[in-house]
Amino acid sequence: MIVLFVDIDYFFAQVEEVLNPSLRGKPVVVCVYSGRTEDSGAVATSNYVARKLGIKAGMPIVKAKELGKDAVFLPMRKELYQEISNRVMEIISKYGESLEVASIDEAYLDITNKVSNFSEAEILARKLKEEILEKEKLRVTIGIGPNKVLAKIIGDKSKPNGLGVVTPEDVSRFIDELDISDVPGIGKITEGVLRKTGINKLADIRKFSLEELSKLVGRSRSIYLISLANNTYREPVKPRELTHKGRYLTLTENTRDIRIIMPFLKRALSEAYGKIQGIPMEIYVVAIMEDLDIVSKGRSFKFGITQDLALRTAEDLLRKILDTDTRKIRRVGVRLGKILRSSTLEDFFH
């Protein structure tokens, strides 16, 4: 098995840097504001400049402002980040057979049947990094390993904007060198219990039987640790189909002219329908504006949307975007959601 672990570096803050390049080089902190007071809430994420000041996710905003007096504090824009995440995940999905979206900024991809060896896997990963950078201006870190966990560990060790590989020949040495804190899913409390028992390295797990370890951290976690320590962990990448499918195209010029935009929108819609197996009940038109900001309008139906209806709806949604925003459009796209699947077309429509 050959698995890629893909992590969008400091995702929320990096998106803000892409949309506002003047932020690059400055400490950027994206926050979830509670609304109680001006500074109430917590840090969602920060860029690496801010992290060097000691600002971390989960930290109260008041504390973060004490550490970063010159930092730029921004509110979290969840819909924007989710839209960009959807697009990145679609790019990733093209490079393998099974995509497991672990979070808004992390995914596992099984490429076992796409490449013959780890050297080819590294070439594929570099192409993936380049495409994401070219299309979305985002830098990602990729870990490559013989299973999901080792791929994630080497990925975490390769941040930011890195590419790490653990080949089958390197696995034994790599596992022997891992600290117990490197293992995903091992929190501070479990780590403390293990260290008190003399387990500081993952390899130390081999000294204990399943029964002995289960008394310390429970049976399921013990099975997980023992399989990792002995290189027998083989949990497959679990495909979690994207809830939305989309297609985005760059216009030949930045414009507000609907006569220029519509042929691109029509093509994007046709290609988006070509990606799905079924019929959607939601359609969104997404416009990437000249300043790279994102504006979207959507509509839901109680029945499946034919492609003809989708085209009419898409044009209407595009007009609404143009009516409510004075900026020129740089890229345009379509996202389809709530995709119904059935063996008979009669089940799709009412």
CB 331 within 8 A of CB 118: no
If DSSP codes are grouped into helix, strand and coil, which group holds residue 117? coil
Gap between the terminal Cα atoms of the chain: 45
Backbone angles phi, psi at 72, to 5 degrees: -95, 120
Give the CA dihedral 43, 81, 102, 97, nearest 10 degrees: -160
CB 198 within 8 A of CB 204: yes
CB 121 within 8 A of CB 13: no
Looking at the annotation, which residues are catalytic? Answer: 106
The neighbour count for residue 179, using CB atoms within 10 Å, is: 12
CB 177 within 8 A of CB 52: no
Assigned token pair, 259: 């006569």
In whole angstroms, what is the distance from residue 174 CA to residue 350 CA? 57
Place of tokens 């995509």: 99
CB 64 within 8 A of CB 18: no
In whole angstroms, what is the distance from residue 76 CA to residue 65 CA? 16
- Which residues, in sequence order, are CB contacts of 283 under 8 Å at separation 6+? 298, 299, 305, 310, 313, 314, 317, 334, 335, 336, 337
Strands (E), 236-293: 244-255, 282-289
- Give the chain's largest Cα–Cα span: 71
Quick one: angle between helices 210-217 and 188-196, nearest 10? 130
If DSSP codes are grouped into helix, strand and coil, which group holds residue 159? coil
Assigned token pair, 39: 């500074």
Strands 282-289 and 163-165 turn out to be unpaired
